Amino acid sequence: MLKTVLPPSVIVVETTGDTPVDTLWPDETHDIASAPVERQLEFATVRHCAREGLQRLGLPPAAILRDRFGAPLWPSGVVGSMTHCRGFRAAAVAHAGDITALGIDAQPVKALPPGVFARISGPGEQELVTQLKTDEPGIVWDTLLFSAKESLYKAWYHLTGTGLGFLDVDFHLHTDGRLDFTFLRPVPDIVSSAQWQGGWSVDSGLVLTAIWATPSGS
Ligand SMILES: CC(C)(COP(=O)(O)OP(=O)(O)OC[C@H]1O[C@@H](n2cnc3c(N)ncnc32)[C@H](O)[C@@H]1OP(=O)(O)O)[C@@H](O)C(=O)NCCC(=O)NCCS
């Protein structure tokens, strides 16, 4: 499902089932040992997906540990992202020479809780989503915008190691499945020099988004 919105250089592994928690590598287990079972299962399953992705890239399996903010630490030369929600888990990985940053996100097809859309969107985005709701009422555009921002956050964090505010970016959601955006704050060279793209899909009750950056000139 996410594969349809990402370039062929990105390997996507998705599942609707869960992998046993004992498939975690020992160092990964330490990270999650005291969490509720559901959390352990999603944590184990996305890592299982990620290792399958590494294998398809022709790379050896590896532990996917986390930094102090919870972001995945990928093997050298790999760029990746993971997402999970009820009934769906996915990992996407690519060679760092092809893709410099990557974020994926999945959300259930349902409207955001009251007040959330106003908090995560700027005036231009609110105007756009109002129009899109009229033009294409079958899509949960507010949730799609939220998901796009989650995907961008993951890609941004991978490149910068810093956070990004919801109002630091202005998204344009296209009805043909593309996502564009403009940063509304100064960004480091590593961000401005990359070529950014994004895509979305709605499938099997899920809103799926991906944002990725390729090296400039590629
Ligand atoms: C970190 C965050 C993006 C995770 O998204 P989520 O929708 O809550 O959860 P998902 O299931 O989609 O993704 C969870 C996975 O994201 C990854 N992740 C966590 N923190 C991350 C970070 N800082 N950077 C990249 N990936 C991260 C992890 O792999 C995590 O799964 P795991 O803990 O099982 O390994 C979210 O919690 C968050 O902080 N959002 C607010 C920031 C934001 O979106 N700002 C707006 C930017 S325009």
Per-residue pLDDT reduced to its tens digit, 115-148: 999 999 999 999 999 999 999 999 999 999 999 9
Q: Are 51 and 25 within 8 A, CB to CB? A: no
Say what the pLDDT of residue 218 is.
Answer: 73
Q: What is the pLDDT of residue 61?
A: 95
Q: How confident is the model at residue 64 (pLDDT cuts 50, 70, 90)?
A: very high
Res 97: pLDDT:
97
Ligand 1 first shell, C-beta below 6 A: 42-43, 46, 69-72, 82-84, 105, 149-150, 152-154, 157-158, 164, 166, 168-169
> Taking the model in full, what pTM does it have?
0.97
Does the structure show a pLDDT above 90 at 217?
Answer: no
Mean pLDDT value of segment 83-90: 97
Q: Is the dihedral of CA 23, 25, 29, 32 positive or negative?
A: negative
Mean pLDDT of 69-90: 97
152 alpha carbon – ligand 1 mean position (Å): 10
Percent of the chain with pLDDT over 70: 100
* pLDDT beyond 90 at 90: yes
Quick check: 79 and 94 in contact, CB under 8 A? yes
Q: What is the pLDDT of residues 166-184, one digit of tens each?
A: 999 999 999 999 999 999 9
Is the separation of the CB atoms in 93 and 80 below 8 Å? yes
Output the pLDDT for position 31: 76
Which pLDDT tens digit goes with each residue over 8-26? 999 999 999 999 999 999 9
Please tell me the residue having the least CA distance from ligand 1 atom 22. Answer: 71
- Residue 193's pLDDT is 95
Best probe residue, ligand 1, of 82, 119, 168, 208 (max atoms within 8 Å of C-beta): 82
Rounded Cα gap, residues 108 and 170, in angstroms: 23
Q: What is the mean pLDDT of residues 60-64?
A: 97
pLDDT at 201: 98
Amino acid at 53: G
- Rounded to whole angstroms, how far apart are CA atoms 207 and 106? 6
pLDDT at 69: 95
HEC per residue, the chain: CHHHHCCCCCEEEEECCCCCHHHCCHHHHHHHCCCCHHHHHHHHHHHHHHHHHHHHCCCCCCCCEECCCCCEECCCCEEEEEEEECCEEEEEEEECCCCCEEEEEEEECCCCCCCHHHHHCCHHHHHHHHHHHHHCCCCCHHHHHHHHHHHHHHHHHHHHCCCCCHHHEEEEECCCCEEEEEECCCCCHHHHCCEEEEEEEEECCEEEEEEEEECCCC
